[in-house]
Structure 1
Amino acid sequence: MHRPDSGTGRPTPSPLPLRPAGQSGLALPVVALGLWQNFAHRDAFARQREIVLGAVDRGVTHLDLANNYGPPGGAAEESLGTLLARDLNGLRDELVVTTKAGYRMTPGPYGEGGSRKYLLSSLDASLRRLGLDHVDIFYSHRFDPTTPLTETIGALATAVRSGRARYVGISSYSADRTREALAVAADVGVDLTVTQVSYSMLNRWIEEPTAGGSSLLDVAGDAGLGVVAFSPLAQGMLTDRYLADVPPASRAARGGPLRPELLTTENLERVRRLDALARAQGRTLARTAVAWAMRDPRVTSVVVGASSLDQLDETLRAVDTPRLSEDELAAVAQLPSDTGINIWASRSSDL
């Protein structure tokens, strides 16, 4: 169902449940659409258009990007920029558009990292590709040990003060680095609103206490920092796609973030066990995995990808999924918190 036409030729998005981003006034729908996958130049624009417009019509108004999403880098922002100008013109205030900088975008010393030069020049380039004068959230995509945090967080402060970003956040920072970033942010006078982290039933690193005794979820909750969880389906492992084998057309077979070596015998046995528990409750594993990631109230929004509207609709059914069974929760709790699929760890969350 849609609300009345907004005057743009498109219906105003249907509402999804909203959660506050920490202690800020920003409220996000519980499901966000990530444009990391399926928005490369090689992907058909018509399908990209169908997915984004279908998502917005369904109330998925939080659209998550980074400067290097593609390939090539910038491709996803260019695609969304075209849609914002042609199809979503007039709905800008209904949308939360986010982007990031920190990982490799271009060759040379100013094509990645946490320097002021890179972050702000990248943000300017992202705005040009998107055709916007500001994004709603701008993230430091990862902790950079070669740049002082005062410089990285100071660049985020400039993004807000200059009007190029409404809010700022960090992504894939460990609990200790998050605590440090919050202290620096207080010193430079900017609020960090959200932290974006990988989180799934097979990748629960944000629940693990550090040497100081606090997990990243604890640090975020205590500081009033919203948590945006990405990869709740573990790059497709928490679906029915790999229960029997690796399909030739699958993401794992094509190469990319989900490498075949991650599909170990142990991990596939874990997935099959979780799938059986989900089916016993009349649910798919994918729906269960997203509902599981949403279960903690400290999680503001869950970022999902989609290669079709049918896939997105299946994900959205998690919003109305009844509480997971005690057997399901216990089965996840008994798994190792690190099953070897946190592919970002050595470059970010382990630092």
Structure 2
Amino acid sequence: MYVPSADRYSAMPYRRTGRSGLLLPALSLGLWHNFGGDRNPEDQGRILRRAFDLGITHFDLANNYGPPPGSAEITMGRALKTDFAHLRDEIVISTKAGYGMWDGPYGEWGSRKYLRSSLDQSLTRLGLDYVDIFYSHRPDPGTPLEETMGALDTAVRQGKALYAGISNYSPEQTREAARILRELGTPLLIHQPRYSMLDRRPEEEGLLSALDELGTGSIAYSPLEQGILSDRYLRGIPEGSRAAGSSPFLTPDAVTPELVRRLGALDQVAKERGQTLAQLALAWVLRGGRVTSAVVGASSVAQLESSVGAVANLEFGDEELARIEEILTAV
């Protein structure tokens, strides 16, 4: 039987999620890319166990994570049945529904039928009676927001989820979703936006300000921009990388000479802080405590350990922030 580290809570910071009572680790483990049926289960188990030993108590999933879709939840379900069977109450499991999952008109978006069916399927794959957080993964332009939020409220009332969340909603949609949920009696716990040094729309479009006003937490996904904010691209596009063509989410034209120059300048800041570029990028997203948690992926234990090293230095001086801002905004 897996015996977790006795000092697993000694180094990881935990942050309150909005005005709720739920604390989340500053870094959460996302199971998007590396926990599908195409990967070695033993490697996956080692990463999950090491994450928990390092204080990562939150595992972030969605119905379509894999590949193939659904297999990441099966991977997590296997770990919950074996390694973590005696630790469920120390773990936060989240899942989402919104993107295409099965054929036909009821297999995606935000209808009550789809969300409730998807959650039931997710619980089966995970081997759980409930998840801690259930998200609407994206807004549905063809479904009234009242219906989508009503489905989240029902999931909470039925005990199939403890909290409701949304992802990829605009500031205006977020305010309206929060209003509907509040009137139903189920607060909006958390929003999961894409946010990084290279994608600052949550700041620029007012989403973070809206969440501050609402008392809603936030958890950033893609804080490393698909790995761009790491040392892999400091000298251009390496063979076998996502930008070299191995991922549909990162194309070669994204890594421009100007971007490589900026990465080099940021890497110098990171070195002066005693961090890697990836650690700097994670610390920047978490700066000031405004973001509750950042989701990191990991294809190996070493990569995971390196990411978690970011929490050793989450503080920035005014001069550091100004220097980073100059690098990011220079024309």
Deviation at 1:252, TM superposition (A): 2.1
Evaluate the alpha carbon distance shift between residue 240 and residue 118 of structure 1 in structure 2; reply closer, same or farther with a 3 A threshold: same
5+ residue gaps, structure 1, are 1-6, 210-214, 340-351
Match of 1:63 in 2: 59
- Residue 44 of structure 2 is aligned with which of 21, 24, 48? 48
Q: How does 1:1-351 map to 2 (within 5 A)?
A: 9-11=3-5, 14-15=8-9, 16-209=12-205, 215-253=206-244, 254-321=246-313, 323-334=315-326
Alpha-carbon distance between aligned partners in 1 of 2:97 and 2:177, rounded to the nearest angstrom: 16
Whichever residue aligns with residue 183 of structure 1, its letter is R
Deviation at 1:268, TM superposition (A): 2.1
Alpha-carbon distance between aligned partners in 1 of 2:79 and 2:269, rounded to the nearest angstrom: 40
Alpha-carbon distance between aligned partners in 2 of 1:90 and 1:72, rounded to the nearest angstrom: 28
1:115-168 CA deviation, whole Å, 9 max, x = no partner? 001111000000000000000000000111111000000000000000000001
How much identity, in percent, do the aligned residues show?
A: 51
Deviation at 1:270, TM superposition (A): 1.9
Deviation at 1:335, TM superposition (A): 5.9
The answer (yes or no) to whether the contact 1:13–1:61 under 8 Å persists in 2 is no
Whichever residue aligns with residue 220 of structure 1, its letter is L
Alpha-carbon distance between aligned partners in 2 of 1:202 and 1:268, rounded to the nearest angstrom: 12
Alpha-carbon distance between aligned partners in 2 of 1:60 and 1:67, rounded to the nearest angstrom: 21
Deviation at 1:327, TM superposition (A): 4.6
The answer (yes or no) to whether the contact 1:13–1:56 under 8 Å persists in 2 is no
Q: Secondary structure at the match of 1:246?
A: coil
The answer (yes or no) to whether the contact 1:34–1:64 under 8 Å persists in 2 is yes
Q: Which shows bigger deviation, 314-323 or 113-122?
A: 314-323
Alpha-carbon distance between aligned partners in 1 of 2:311 and 2:73, rounded to the nearest angstrom: 27
Deviation at 1:266, TM superposition (A): 2.5
Q: Secondary structure at the match of 1:198?
A: coil
Alpha-carbon distance between aligned partners in 1 of 2:84 and 2:273, rounded to the nearest angstrom: 38
The answer (yes or no) to whether the contact 1:278–1:328 under 8 Å persists in 2 is no
Alpha-carbon distance between aligned partners in 1 of 2:7 and 2:135, rounded to the nearest angstrom: 25
Alpha-carbon distance between aligned partners in 2 of 1:39 and 1:65, rounded to the nearest angstrom: 10
The Cα RMSD (Å) is 1.8
Deviation at 1:332, TM superposition (A): 3.7
Whichever residue aligns with residue 47 of structure 1, its letter is D
Deviation at 1:173, TM superposition (A): 0.7
Q: Secondary structure at the match of 1:202?
A: coil
Alpha-carbon distance between aligned partners in 2 of 1:133 and 1:160, rounded to the nearest angstrom: 12
Aligned residue pair count: 327
Q: Secondary structure at the match of 2:29?
A: strand
Alpha-carbon distance between aligned partners in 2 of 1:173 and 1:268, rounded to the nearest angstrom: 30
The answer (yes or no) to whether the contact 1:65–1:98 under 8 Å persists in 2 is yes
Output the TM-score relative to the length of structure 2.
0.94
Deviation at 1:336, TM superposition (A): 6.3
Whichever residue aligns with residue 222 of structure 1, its letter is E
The answer (yes or no) to whether the contact 1:29–1:59 under 8 Å persists in 2 is yes
The answer (yes or no) to whether the contact 1:274–1:328 under 8 Å persists in 2 is no
The answer (yes or no) to whether the contact 1:33–1:303 under 8 Å persists in 2 is yes
The answer (yes or no) to whether the contact 2:62–2:97 under 8 Å persists in 1 is yes
Alpha-carbon distance between aligned partners in 1 of 2:176 and 2:253, rounded to the nearest angstrom: 34
Evaluate the alpha carbon distance shift between residue 152 and residue 336 of structure 1 in structure 2; reply closer, same or farther with a 3 A threshold: farther
Whichever residue aligns with residue 17 of structure 1, its letter is P
Alpha-carbon distance between aligned partners in 2 of 1:336 and 1:316, rounded to the nearest angstrom: 24
Output the TM-score relative to the length of structure 1.
0.89
Q: Secondary structure at the match of 2:193?
A: strand
Q: Secondary structure at the match of 2:134?
A: strand
Alpha-carbon distance between aligned partners in 2 of 1:91 and 1:174, rounded to the nearest angstrom: 36
1:248-297 CA deviation, whole Å, 9 max, x = no partner? 22122212312222212232222122112212333211111111111132
Deviation at 1:322, TM superposition (A): 5.4
Evaluate the alpha carbon distance shift between residue 8 and residue 45 of structure 1 in structure 2; reply closer, same or farther with a 3 A threshold: closer
The answer (yes or no) to whether the contact 1:51–1:309 under 8 Å persists in 2 is yes
Whichever residue aligns with residue 330 of structure 1, its letter is A
Whichever residue aligns with residue 163 of structure 2, its letter is Y
